[in-house]
């Protein structure tokens, strides 16, 4: 029988958290990730059959009842996960009533899931309503995206168009644009509800003065989505460092041509 520690899930999330830290997105204990794992993919692991403890979720997660999630821990440093996954990660199953989560593996020193776990679960619930491939929620603190929330109008159309026009890849990778919520206290159900509501229309949501929430079908896709958004924001920052004057830019017509060539539908509210 195989140990869950040796699974592709633990290996991949350990790699992604380390890479996110090395990008400078997850200082100290900043950032969190959750990976929904299908029951069939957990067959054969010998060390995930016993409930080690049961945790209150603080909200009703009934739509996710009996689902499994591998999640990073509260207060844990992304840079350490790759070396101590049994301490910094936990595999939980949502209970039948949707009120609690059973810990099946990990958090061996008494740790708990990230304080943003309710926000993650609310986002999973919303995305699964129309995207059955939804498996990953990732939160991190990309420097240049955060900086935009101080210097730009907090308007979805404005931010989305700005990032689309920074590089050809942007519109192709996130054609729906970027969602925004107001600044809110992190680690609360309120910020989770606001984020989940935006996830009806977007796969990336900016938390002003804080960071970004991204979703996807797997860890690579989600990481790449956030990476593309941050790259566009970085280009904008570099333009500012070079004087801020744009002499030539990607036009709306060129954005439309990109959408046509790559067979994506640009958000019609942002690109008419």
User: In this structure, are residues 52 and 104 in contact, taking their beta carbons and an 8 Å threshold?
Assistant: yes
Nearest in space to 64 (alpha carbons), one of 113, 124, 141, 18: 124
Q: Which long-range contacts (CB under 8 A, 24 or more apart) does 6-9 make?
A: 7/45, 9/35, 9/37, 9/41, 9/70
Task: Tell me: is residue 210 an annotated ligand-binding position.
Answer: yes
Task: Tell me: is residue 139 an annotated ligand-binding position.
Answer: yes
Told to judge if 116 belongs to the known catalytic residues of this protein, a careful annotator would answer yes
Nearest in space to 16 (alpha carbons), one of 212, 219, 211: 219
> Locate tokens 């809110």: which residue?
184
Nearest in space to 265 (alpha carbons), one of 141, 143, 174: 174
> Which of 19, 116, 227, 253 is an active site residue?
116
Burial of 129 (0-12, 13-18, 19+ CB in 10 A): exposed
Backbone angles phi, psi at 96, to 5 degrees: -60, -30
Which residue numbers belong to the known binding site?
Answer: 139, 141, 210
The residues carrying an active-site annotation are 116
List binding-site positions for Zn(2+): 139, 141, 210
């Amino acid at each position: 029988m195989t140990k869950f520690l040796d699974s592709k899930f633990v290996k991949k999330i350990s790699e992604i958290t380390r890479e996110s830290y090395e990008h400078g997105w997850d200082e100290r204990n900043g950032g969190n990730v959750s990976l929904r794992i299908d029951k069939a993919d957990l067959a054969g692991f010998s060390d995930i059959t016993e409930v080690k403890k049961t945790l209150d979720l603080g909200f009703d997660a009934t739509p996710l009842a009996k689902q499994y999630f591998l999640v990073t821990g509260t207060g844990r440093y992304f840079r350490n996960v790759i070396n101590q996954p049994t301490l910094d990660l936990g595999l939980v199953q949502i209970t039948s009533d949707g009120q609690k989560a059973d810990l099946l593996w990990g958090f061996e020193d008494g740790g708990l899931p990230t304080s943003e776990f309710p926000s993650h679960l609310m986002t999973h619930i919303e995305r699964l309503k129309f995207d059955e491939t939804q498996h990953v929620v990732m939160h991190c603190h990309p420097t240049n995206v955060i900086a935009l929330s101080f210097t730009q109008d907090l308007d979805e159309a404005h931010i989305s168009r700005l990032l689309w026009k920074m590089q050809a890849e942007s519109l192709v990778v996130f054609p729906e644009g970027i969602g925004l919520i107001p600044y809110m206290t992190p680690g609360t159900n309120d910020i989770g509800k606001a984020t989940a509501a935006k996830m009806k229309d977007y796969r990336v949501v900016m938390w002003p003065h804080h960071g970004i929430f991204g979703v996807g079908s797997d860890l690579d896709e989600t990481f790449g989505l956030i990476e593309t958004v941050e790259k566009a924001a970085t280009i904008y920052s570099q333009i500012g460092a070079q004087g801020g004057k744009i002499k030539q830019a990607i036009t709306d017509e060129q954005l439309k041509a990109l959408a046509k060539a790559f067979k994506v539908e640009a958000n019609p509210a942002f690109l008419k």
